[in-house]
Structure 1
Amino acid sequence: MKFVIEPKPPFDFQKMMQRLTVTGKTHVLKLNEEFTSYEKIIKIEEVSCYVNVTSSGTVKSPSLNCKAIPLNGHVSEEVVKKKIQQLFSTEVDLSPLYEHFSKHKELVHVLQRFEGLKLLTDTDLFESIVKIIIGQQVNLTFAGTLTERLIELAGEKVEVEGSIFQVFPAPNSVSNLKYEDLRELQFSQRKAEYIIDLAKLISEGTLDLESLWEMSDEEVLQTLLPIRGIGKWTIECLLIFGMGRTDVLPAADIGLRNAICGVWKLAEQPSEEEVRVLAMDWTPWRTYITYYLWESLNQTPAVVDHT
């Protein structure tokens, strides 16, 4: 199936794709050299689908040419289109954000620098939360290495139109692993336990990640907090990078606090509470302001997780 999506402008597809290479999140997807094309195998209603999204428009007049091939079942064009709109945040209108802060002394330059950069969310909530757990308290490079090793160990490979794609492992595959399997890949004992135990909860039907879509941010927090290895920071990152929620403030995050320190020219890093006070007027755009401040440091979040 083929169709066209016209995202709400401004929408900078190339900036979104280029960011993936900076953060090392390209293990299971393919980008072209011009950062105008995205290919990945994703799950839509339990059906594996090859998805190709290519930008043919501009930041001010964006257009996405989409192609999808269901590989092991049937899924409607309407459902696929909705999934791609969700992944690329095409229906999020950032114009009010830019207009509201156009004269903000500290934020205006940050917002101008990253204008059109929207969230490209993870295609699967399990994939998202596992990558966030892997990223706890390690640098980007090592987190990427661990993610790649997990994919090689438990994921599968699929050939579509002459290209081989790696697919992020499903909960069933990860739940069958032993802690020692991940320890041999240099995962810490705790991370091995967190990831495999999470996969078991999902495989056994104890945890339904898809049900999170119907919940408020606070309900998601209360649902996931009791799970070992998942703290507030992890859930906040899931809300942002997995679910695309637009008004999340991970105030304890070190990267955010460092960025605020630099942009506001503060003498020292603000505390979590000081960040919350400072960000009171950011609603309903706390996610995007946080996202752009992270980007101003050319880094993804530095973990402070309270597990």
Structure 2
Amino acid sequence: MPVIDCDIALPPGFRPQDILAFHRRDGERLAEQVDGDGLKKGLLWQGRPACLDLRFHDGRAALRLAVDGEAGDAGQLASLGRRMLGLNQPVEAFEDRYRGHPQLGALIAARVGLRVPQTATPFEALAWAITGQQISVAAAVTLRRRMLLLCDCRHSSGLLCHPDAARLAALTADQLGESGFSRAKSRALLALSQGVVSGTLPLDDWLDGVPADDIAERLLAVPGIGPWTVSYALLRGYGWLDGSLHGDVAVRKALGMLLGMADKPDQQRTQDWLRDFAPWRALVAAHLWALLQAGGF
């Protein structure tokens, strides 16, 4: 079986626990398996099932990718690893700017070096964001698991791989509905998948420096994709740290705790509060998620 290896130096204070928590969401371990110092994840590599083995040790991340087919080169794997680990996120500049802030300062001090773990592909981020619309993390994890089982794309190790757009586009709304997806979510997933397959939504091409506002405009034109879904997907799929996640219930709940409020603020007040932290609003949201220990979402 073709294998690619690479080794990535991690910055001082890197937090492996955040990466592991993100990939530990599904306790049934069908697609991701977190163990001790690292994890294994099933994914599609250039359209072929693969298993990524990621290990943290001595300030470095060792990546090994076993592919059911041609493997490619280590440079491509290193690029994937850096994105998934959030190493392209300039969190040090954010911390320098706000470590003395009366509310954020304590959050930053508690989690210095916090980065937002990213999905293997932008499509995976969008599929997860659509799946998680208006439901709990636990319910979203269950739906995601059913979708993976429905597509049944497996690496030879047995790990399920997140389907690509072509595999999801081959499903019907009835199949997704039988797996528990609402009509609205089924329509959105299929419209997204069909747009990627047709080339009207070149998600991977947008990784090469396309402005976030341009990506957002294109995604908002897809039926069933709204501002929260776009901001979340831009964060998890593209590492964009300035989406305003004011509609996120967990963000609002944590902000209420941070401000000493009896109840969570409404969306308008949350949006107004986050506005002062541009261009870091989504990173602020990640710190608020962490306050609730909801970083795996």
TM-score of the aligned structures, taking structure 1 as reference length? 0.86
Matched, 1:118 2:112: no
Q: Alignment identity in percent?
A: 19
Contiguous gaps of at least 5 residues in structure 2 = none
Residue 188 of structure 1: how far off its partner (Å): 1.4
1:143 alignment counterpart: 140
Q: Is residue 9 of structure 1 aligned with residue 9 of structure 2?
A: no
Please report how far the alpha carbon of residue 47 of structure 1 lies from its aligned counterpart in structure 2 after TM superposition.
Answer: 5.1
Residues 255-301 of structure 1 show CA distances to partners (whole Å, capped at 9, x for unaligned) of 22222121022355434443344334423332221101012123369
Counterpart of 1:64 in 2: which secondary structure? strand
Matches within 5 A, 1:119-134: 119-134=116-131
Q: Give 2:129's aligned amino acid.
A: I
Bigger drift between 189-198 and 271-280 goes to 271-280
Contact 1:255–1:300 (Cα < 8 Å) also in 2: no
Q: Is the CA contact 2:253–2:264 (under 8 Å) kept in the aligned structure 1?
A: yes
Deviation at 1:170, TM superposition (A): 2.1
Match of 2:186 among 176, 192, 201: 192
Larger displacement relative to structure 2 (6-15 or 223-232): 6-15
Contact preservation (8 Å) 2:118, 2:239:
yes
Query: Match of 2:291?
Result: 296
Cα gap change, 1:25 to 1:111, in 2 (>3 Å): farther
CA distance in 2, matches of 1:297, 1:133: 22
Instruction: Give the match for residue 198 of structure 2.
Output: 204
Structure 1 residues 291 and 150: CA distance shift in structure 2, 3 A: same
Q: For the Cα contact (< 8 Å) 1:9–1:93, is it kept in 2?
A: no
Partner of 2:55: 54
Q: CA 1:170/1:122 → structure 2, altered by over 3 Å: closer, same or farther? A: same
Cα offset for 1:90?
2.2
Instruction: Say if 1:293 and 1:24 are closer, same or farther in 2 by CA, change over 3 A.
Output: farther
Root-mean-square deviation (CA), in Å? 2.4
> TM-score scaled by structure 2?
0.88
Give the aligned partner of residue 179 of structure 1.
173
The one-letter code matched in structure 2 to 1:105 is P
Unaligned residue ranges in structure 1 (runs of 5+): 303-307
Which of 104, 107, 110 pairs up with 1:107? 104
Deviation at residue 22 of structure 1 after TM alignment = 4.9
> Residues of 2 paired with 1:44 and 1:37: CA distance?
20
- Check whether the contact 1:54–1:66 (CA below 8 A) recurs between aligned residues: yes
Cα–Cα, structure 1 residues 268 and 51, in superposed 2: closer, same or farther, change >3 Å? closer
Partner of 1:29: 32
Q: Measure, in 2, the Cα distance between the counterparts of 1:29 and 1:197.
A: 27
For the Cα contact (< 8 Å) 1:255–1:301, is it kept in 2? no
Contact 1:44 1:83 in 2 (8 A): no
Deviation at 1:68, TM superposition (A): 2.3
